[in-house]
Amino acid sequence: MAAAQRAHRPPVGEPVLDRAFRLLASFGPADRSLSLTSMSVRSDVPKSSALRIARQLVACGALERLEDGDFVVGLRLLEIASLAPRGHGLRETALPYMEDLHVATGQHVLLAVRDGSEAVLVERLSARGAARVLYRVGGRMPLHATGVGLCLLAHAPSSLQDHVMAGDLSLHPENRSLTPNQLRTTLAAVRRDGVAVASRPDPSPMTSVAAPILGPRDEVIAAISVVTPSADVDPIALRPAVTAVCRAISRAMRAG
């Protein structure tokens, strides 16, 4: 009997919004457009529900639908996201200074903020034709393995530092891992020097020099780094430029 039961469990009863965001989250850099079923399986939302919700999202402008039926992230989201103080808000005042740094050095320039135990790349100016792009705007990167990451981590609450130490400290390109003590030493150096220097040998040897941007109450709210081929210049030579620009941005934020 029970077996034949129609059951019809509309069950688990999961917050509506969660599902919607899971659908949105199923997109990725490699999959900018997805079919309904792809979204459905990736976000683990039944097909019928996925369709219904996706349609509502289209109505809101959060998604757009192509002629072939596939879904794409919509412009409306950009519109709203551009109001995020820690995103485009920050970017707006920082960008001109980043450009200065960009033309002065001719290298990649990165702007990132911390979100939980990761760094989010808010803006990136790429050296023309230079080495492959490592991270994309809107993407996340580990705190322990990048210049901006180290910078943000060094000035984060110690509870978070502990949490990161306890986590995964592997360095991706090379196949080794940091020990918590190595990291602790590095962070101390970052705090002392006011800049973070990180190197990465892999695809091509790159070195990044990062400095923090301070908010109104002298708390670290973001970090900027210049990423150069290690062979190109002495990274130390970049230190004055990066710190100077970061101080300028910090001042501009206060004024803004």
Rule CB under 8 A: which residues touch a second copy? 15-18, 20-21, 24-25, 27-29, 32-33, 53, 56-57, 59-62, 64, 72-89, 92, 95-96, 99, 103, 113, 115, 120, 122, 125-126, 128, 136-140
Distance between CA atoms of residues 23 and 123, nearest Å: 25
Nearest approach, Cβ of residue 32 and DNA (Å): 15
Closest CB to a second copy among residues 65, 239: 65
Task: Give 71's strand partners.
Answer: 34, 65
DSSP 31: B
CB-side exposure of 139: number of CA atoms within 13 Å?
12
Nearest approach, Cβ of residue 127 and DNA (Å): 39
10 binds DNA (CB under 7 A): yes
11 binds DNA (CB under 7 A): yes
Closest CB to DNA among residues 71, 97: 71
Nearest approach, Cβ of residue 188 and a second copy (Å): 28
77 binds, among DNA, a second copy, none (CB under 5 to 8 A by kind): a second copy
Amino acid at site 137: V
Cα–Cα nearest to 27, from 43, 15, 48, 50: 43
Closest CB to DNA among residues 40, 225: 40
17 binds DNA (CB under 7 A): yes
217 binds DNA (CB under 7 A): no
Closest CB to DNA among residues 51, 189: 51
Amino acid at site 7: A
36 binds DNA (CB under 7 A): yes
Contacts 24+ apart (CB under 8 A), 67-73: 69/35, 69/36, 70/33, 70/34, 70/35, 71/33, 71/34, 71/35, 71/36, 71/39, 72/27, 72/32, 72/33, 73/24, 73/27, 73/32
Q: Which residues bind DNA (CB under 7 A)?
A: 6-17, 19, 35-37, 45-49, 51-53, 69-70
